[in-house]
């Protein structure tokens, strides 16, 4: 930041981060809540949002939510069952 103004790239990153947050937070919270102990839900959601912020340029537009929340049918059946997510809570 120079002279109290943010660079256009910084503004674009901030705007994209806010856009992703608004798209994923509401569905992400209950998704994590039904798969983790309630006491760690906030930590897990915060970690997911931190990773999203770090990988901001990799998150595809118009596919943010599927990129964050795995679809149960997309999990390889050969994977360990500890990595599978239930379809519903």
pLDDT value for 71: 59
Residue 56's pLDDT band (boundaries 50, 70, 90)? confident
- 4 or 51: which leads in pLDDT: 51
Stretch 16-40: mean pLDDT:
90
> 27, 28, 25, 35: which is closest to 88 by C-alpha?
35
End-to-end CA distance of the chain: give it in Å, rounded.
45
**Dist CA 58 CA 38 (whole Å):** 29
Give the mean pLDDT of the chain.
79
pLDDT band at 69 (very low <50, low <70, confident <90, very high): confident
Give residue for tokens 């990153």. 13
Signed CA dihedral, 18, 5, 9, 50: sign only? negative
Domain ranges of the chain: 8-67
* pLDDT (average), residues 54-66: 89
């Amino acid at each position: 930041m120079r002279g109290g103004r943010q660079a256009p790239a910084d503004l674009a990153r901030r705007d994209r981060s806010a856009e992703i947050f608004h798209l994923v937070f509401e569905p992400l919270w209950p998704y994590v809540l039904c798969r983790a102990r309630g006491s760690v839900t906030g930590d897990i959601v915060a970690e997911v949002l931190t990773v999203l912020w770090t990988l901001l340029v990799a998150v595809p537009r118009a596919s943010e939510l599927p990129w964050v929340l795995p679809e149960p049918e997309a999990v390889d059946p050969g994977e360990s069952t500890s990595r599978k997510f239930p379809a519903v809570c």
